[in-house]
Structure 1
C-alpha cells in the first residue's frame, strides 16, 4: 500500500510526466525542407534518409525533374539528422551527410555540390 505522502507526491508529479511524454514533444522543429537547384543542370534525383540508414531508398522526385532556379519541398518524417543525395541529368552525384534538419530550412544545390541554409 502507498502511504498518503507517497500518493500525494505521485499525484503532484503526474503533470510533469505529461509534459515529458512523446506526444507533448511530438513537434520540436519544422521538418519541412525546401531543395533549391541553383546549379546550371537539371536535377533528376533527390534522395534522403535519416543518417545511419544504409539505403537511399527511392528517388523522392519520382519521374519529375528540378530545373535550374526551381525548388521543391519535402516534409521529412523525423526530427533526426538526415543524409541527402542528388543526381544531376549528367549522372553526376553529390551527398550531404548528417544534416540537422531542425537548424536549416533549405538544401541548396550548386554546381560545386550541396550546402544548407
Structure 2
C-alpha cells in the first residue's frame, strides 16, 4: 500500500511539473468589466503590424466574464498589443502590454468619455 501511495505521489508530481512547464509566461486572463459584449480579441507582438487571428474564435466574451489567453510557449516576446472588437463593431486597442509581467488584464469602459481603459495585475 505504501509503495502504491509513493508511486501515485510521484506520478502526480510529474503531471504538475509538466503543466507548469507547458504554460507560457505570456499567458494571461482577460476580464471584461466594460458592460458590453466583446466579439473579437486580437493579441500580437508589438513589433508586428498585423493582428493575426481572433483568439476567441467563434466565442464571445460577455460582460463580467473572463477568458484565459494562452501562448504556445515558443515565443520570447514580452511586449504585446491587444485589440478588442465590441458587438457593435467599435474597437479599442492597447499597445505595449508587458505580458511577461502581467497575469490579468481587466477592461473597463468609461461611458462619459467613450473610452476603454485597462488595468493589469
TM-score over 0.5 for the pair: yes
Quote the Cα distance in structure 2 between the aligned partners of 1:54 and 1:65.
24
1:97 aligns with 2:92: no
1:85 aligns with 2:83: yes
State whether residues 95 and 114 of structure 1, in contact with CA within 8 Å, keep that contact through their aligned partners in structure 2.
Answer: no
Quote the Cα distance in structure 2 between the aligned partners of 1:52 and 1:114.
22
**Shift, 1:74, TM fit:** 1.2
Give the ranges of 4+ consecutive aligned residues of structure 1 lying more than 4 Å apart after TM superposition: none
Larger Rg: 1
Gaps of 5+ in 2: 1-20, 111-115
Q: Deviations over 1:50-109 (max 9, x none)?
A: 111110011111110011110000123424211100011111111111111111111111
Query: Match for residue 58 of structure 2?
Result: 63
Query: Match for residue 42 of structure 2?
Result: 47
TM-score, with length taken from structure 2: 0.68
Gaps of 5+ in 1: 1-25
**CA-atom RMSD in angstroms:** 1.9
TM-score, with length taken from structure 1: 0.70
